[in-house]
Structures are given as structure tokens and as C-alpha cells.
């Protein structure tokens, strides 16, 4: 017997779920969750770990009291057992990530270390090459300090900080700006440089080499997981199976 669902005034059968996911562009998310569920099949938890998983999930989502849990379940249409299953799944997913990529973090860090280096720099931006050149000469002759020039002439938010920006990861900068900063000596003001619609003056204040702390470890593991999941999604196709040949799930 086909199960039916009612949302508001609309009634639809379970057979329409996949077509509706396609129509609402939600099928990729559904596929993603199915692939994750499949990957977690062999991740088992002890009774103590299950209790820990539920406690951590409730703490992270501010669900310590029964009323908060009830509101959560009402919002997502979940039963108590489904809420517990979600908590266990979250815990198992973290374990899967660590078991699969945790031991590779050090080598990944050494391979991609420069991507996570940070810089602190000062910048002045203007839309006039003539003004940029004049300001560069003033700075070279020490007629004005960089922070004063930035506060007076810079046309970006850095004017509020005297031109000072950072720390910021090098890979999050415009490639041209990153290249200039990585080839600069601290304290040296570089000649005017065009970046998109701006003419900028830039000075490297400090280069901060990346260190493999807990936060970066987590990012590297998450990066590997997302790359793996993206590949799985690319390689997985939705197939329509004849009901008479379908296996029971």
C-alpha cells in the first residue's frame, strides 16, 4: 500500500517524493545524505559512546532541557528516536572522518602549508594612478606615515584602521596581492599596483607561518571529506528500478 502524506492542504503519495525532490532541486542534498549514510554503515558505537554522542549533540544545539528538545522535534517533524539517531549519526560521521583522514593530516599540512600562512599588511587603495603615485612619493620621503595616508585617502574599509589588515590567510587574498606580499620584505612599501579597478599601495607588516593546531587539523580533515564526497556524488547516478526487481531496504 502506498503511503500518503499531507502538508497543509496538499496530499501526495510516497511515489512523488523523488520527483518532488527533483523539482525543488533538493535531490543533490538527498543523494549527499544517502552517500554519507552508506559510508557510516560500519561505524559502531558502544553504549557509553552513544550516551556521549547524545549529550554532545544536545549541548552543541542548546537542547539540554526537554522543552527545547520538544521544540526541535516539532520544528523538524522528528520523533525522540529520530532525534537520537541524528545525534548518533553526527558522532559517527566525525569518527568516520578521523578514521579515514586523521592519520594523513601531517603529510597534507606539509604539502599545502603555504596555503595556510597568514599575513598582516597595510594597504591604501585609490582609483587614481596619479594620486597613488603622489602618495607613494610622500611615503618614500617620509612626509607622512602610512596609517595617516590610509586614514585620509584610502577608499576602502581599511581607512578605519589606518590601512592595517589581518591576520588573513594568503589564499584568501587577490592572487596578485598575495604574490606581492609573499615577495616583500616587512616594512617595505611597494610601488603602486593595479588590482582590478583599484590602484593600491601595500606594505607587508608580518608573515605568520601556519602551525598545525587543532583548528587546522579539523579543517584539513573536513577538506578531504568534502573532496571525497564531491567525487562520490559525481560518480553516483539515480536509477529508476522496476518495482518487481527492487530489493527491500
Q: For residue range 88-134, list pLDDT tens digits in order.
A: 999 999 999 999 999 999 999 999 888 899 999 999 999 999 999 99
Residues 164 and 122 sit within 8 Å (Cβ to Cβ)? yes
Which pLDDT score is estimated for 197? Answer: 94
At 189 the three-state DSSP class reads strand
Name which residue leads in pLDDT, 243 or 249: 243
DSSP tally for the chain: helices H, then strands E: 10, 6
DSSP string, 2-16: --EEEETTEEEEGGG
Lowest-pLDDT choice from 12-16, 35-39, 134-138: 12-16
In this structure, the strands spanning 198-208 and 118-126 are: antiparallel
Q: State how far the Cα of 94 lies from the Cα of 100, in Å rounded to an integer.
A: 10
Overall average pLDDT of the 11-15 stretch: 78
The cell numbers describing 157, all together, are: 574599509
Four-point Cα dihedral 1, 26, 97, 216, nearest 10: -160
Overall average pLDDT of the 164-176 stretch: 95
In whole numbers, what is the pLDDT of the chain averaged over residues?
Answer: 91
Which pLDDT score is estimated for 88? Answer: 97
The kind and range of the H/E element at 138 are: helix 129-140
Burial class (CB in 10 A: 0-12, 13-18, 19+), 231: exposed
Residue among 230, 237, 229 at smallest CA distance from 96: 229
Q: How far out from the chain centre does Cα 77 lie?
A: 28
Residues 87 and 57 sit within 8 Å (Cβ to Cβ)? yes
Residues 109 and 212 sit within 8 Å (Cβ to Cβ)? yes
pLDDT, tens digit, 9 for 90 and up, residues 66-93: 999 999 999 998 999 999 999 999 999 9
Which pLDDT score is estimated for 245? Answer: 56
Which pLDDT score is estimated for 243? Answer: 59
DSSP string, 191-214: EEEEETTEEEEEEEEEEE-----H
At 241 the three-state DSSP class reads coil
The cell numbers describing 38, all together, are: 552508506
Q: Is the pLDDT of residue 246 over 60?
A: no
pLDDT, tens digit, 9 for 90 and up, residues 219-230: 999 999 999 999
pLDDT band at 237 (very low <50, low <70, confident <90, very high): confident
Q: How many CB atoms lie within 10 A of CB 188?
A: 9
Amino acid at each position: 500500500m502506498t503511503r500518503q502524506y499531507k502538508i497543509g492542504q496538499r496530499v501526495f503519495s510516497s511515489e512523488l517524493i523523488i520527483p518532488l525532490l527533483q523539482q525543488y532541486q533538493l535531490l543533490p542534498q538527498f543523494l549527499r545524505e544517502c552517500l554519507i549514510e552508506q559510508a557510516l554503515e560500519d561505524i559502531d558505537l558502544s553504549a557509553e559512546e552513544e550516551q556521549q554522542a547524545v549529550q554532545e549533540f544536545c549541548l552543541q544545539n542548546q537542547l539540554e532541557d526537554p522543552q527545547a528538545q520538544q521544540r526541535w522535534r516539532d520544528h523538524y517533524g522528528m520523533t525522540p528516536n529520530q532525534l537520537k539517531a541524528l545525534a548518533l549519526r553526527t558522532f559517527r560521521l566525525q569518527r568516520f572522518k578521523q578514521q579515514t583522514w586523521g592519520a594523513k593530516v601531517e603529510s597534507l599540512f606539509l604539502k599545502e602549508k603555504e596555503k595556510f600562512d597568514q599575513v598582516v599588511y597595510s594597504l591604501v587603495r585609490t582609483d587614481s594612478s596619479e594620486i597613488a603615485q603622489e602618495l607613494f612619493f610622500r611615503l618614500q620621503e617620509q612626509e607622512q606615515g602610512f596609517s595617516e595616508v590610509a586614514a585620509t585617502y584610502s577608499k576602502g574599509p581599511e581607512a578605519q584602521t589606518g590601512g592595517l589588515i589581518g591576520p588573513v590567510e594568503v589564499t584568501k587574498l587577490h592572487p596578485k596581492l598575495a604574490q606581492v606580499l609573499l615577495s616583500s620584505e616587512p616594512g617595505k612599501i611597494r610601488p603602486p599596483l593595479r588590482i582590478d579597478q583599484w590602484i593600491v599601495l601595500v606594505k607587508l607588516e608580518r608573515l605568520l607561518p601556519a602551525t598545525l593546531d587543532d583548528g587546522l587539523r579539523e579543517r584539513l580533515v573536513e577538506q578531504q571529506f568534502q573532496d571525497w564526497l564531491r567525487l562520490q556524488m559525481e560518480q553516483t547516478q539515480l536509477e529508476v528500478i522496476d518495482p518487481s526487481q527492487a530489493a527491500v531496504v
